[in-house]
Structure 1
Amino acid sequence: MTESRKASFGFTKLIVYDEEAQAEYYHQVYGLNKLHRVQNDDSGAGGAIREVIMGSGDTMSSESLVMFKLIDRPAPRDQEVILGFITDDLDALASRVLAHGGKHNGPIKSMPEHGVRVLFTTDPEGRLSENVELLAK
């Protein structure tokens, strides 16, 4: 018996040190657009916050990535999430990562047995992303 869905996935928030610089990185490298900014001096997250809400289109939708700044606290030092991106051109994405202050964690790996090429990268603040190009079948 199939259970009815209780909720749907809506967004991912990265806790960052510099929300504007990180938003620009994710715009330049992944083409995400800066859709909306939020500032709240008394958020439910435990103090003042600033956010840049990003998405793939021109309007907010359920596919969004948020650069989340806790104004009175430092960003966490340890990885809390690995972002996953799918691209048609991993080599071009790899170049954009370097051009905008990110780093490669190693070379691009071809994994034909899984039908992918993969490159792990870090953004300018050190957050990990797994970038995947699907191979033609």
Structure 2
Amino acid sequence: MSDNAAIPTMFTKLIVADEEAMARYYSGVYGLKDVVRVDGDSAGTGEKFREVIMSASGEMTGQTLVMFNFTDRKPPRDQQSILGFITDDIEALNGRIVANGGKLIGPLRDQREHGVRVQFSEDPEGALAENVELLPHA
């Protein structure tokens, strides 16, 4: 990559069984907004799919999280990814996780040596998320 080449913007696709239900969950917990819905045939695999593209702003700029459903496949059986979210109020986030059908995994842990508080959670389909609150520098 040359010195003046643009740095690519990243996106994440979470393979889910029900893209609509999972879009509601990630909206309710993390405040993500729908950008666009797409359905068709994947150019890469030739399989039918539906997806909901989401972002913090509701615009197709910056990072997006995509709820991706291969419509003719069985629901995912194993963990497809670990999503990471940074928040400034982890207790409030934990409340939204539970209120929207997710569950907390293990205890909320202060990891002062790393400058973070960490809480793992699962969404209603079992996808794992690592939720992090940055601690103030001493």
Give the partner amino acid of 1:136.
Answer: P
1:106 counterpart SS class: strand
Question: C-alpha separation between the residues in 2 aligned to 1:112 and 1:10?
Answer: 29
Map of 2:95 onto structure 1: 95
Instruction: String of CA shifts for 1:22-49, please: whole Å, max 9, x gaps.
Output: 0000000001101100011x22233111
Alignment length (residue pairs): 135
Q: Given the two structures, how large is their TM-score scaled by the length of structure 2?
A: 0.91
Map of 1:80 onto structure 2: 80
Question: C-alpha separation between the residues in 2 aligned to 1:58 and 1:79?
Answer: 27
- Give the gaps of 5 or more residues in structure 1: none
1:136 paired with 2:131, answer no
Question: C-alpha separation between the residues in 2 aligned to 1:58 and 1:123?
Answer: 21
1:17 paired with 2:20, answer no
Cα deviation for residue 80 of structure 1 reads: 2.1
- Give the gaps of 5 or more residues in structure 2: none
Give the partner amino acid of 1:53.
Answer: I
Question: C-alpha separation between the residues in 1 aligned to 2:131 and 2:24?
Answer: 18
Matches within 5 A, 1:1-137: 4=3, 8-40=8-40, 42-44=41-43, 45-137=45-137
Give the partner amino acid of 2:64.
Answer: S
Q: Runs of 4 or more off by more than 2 Å in structure 1?
A: 2-7
Contact 2:10-2:64 at 8 Å conserved across structures: yes
**CA RMSD, aligned part only?**
1.6
Query: Percent sequence identity over matched residues?
Result: 54
Q: Given the two structures, how large is their TM-score scaled by the length of structure 1?
A: 0.92
Question: C-alpha separation between the residues in 1 aligned to 2:7 and 2:117?
Answer: 32
Question: C-alpha separation between the residues in 2 aligned to 1:52 and 1:58?
Answer: 11
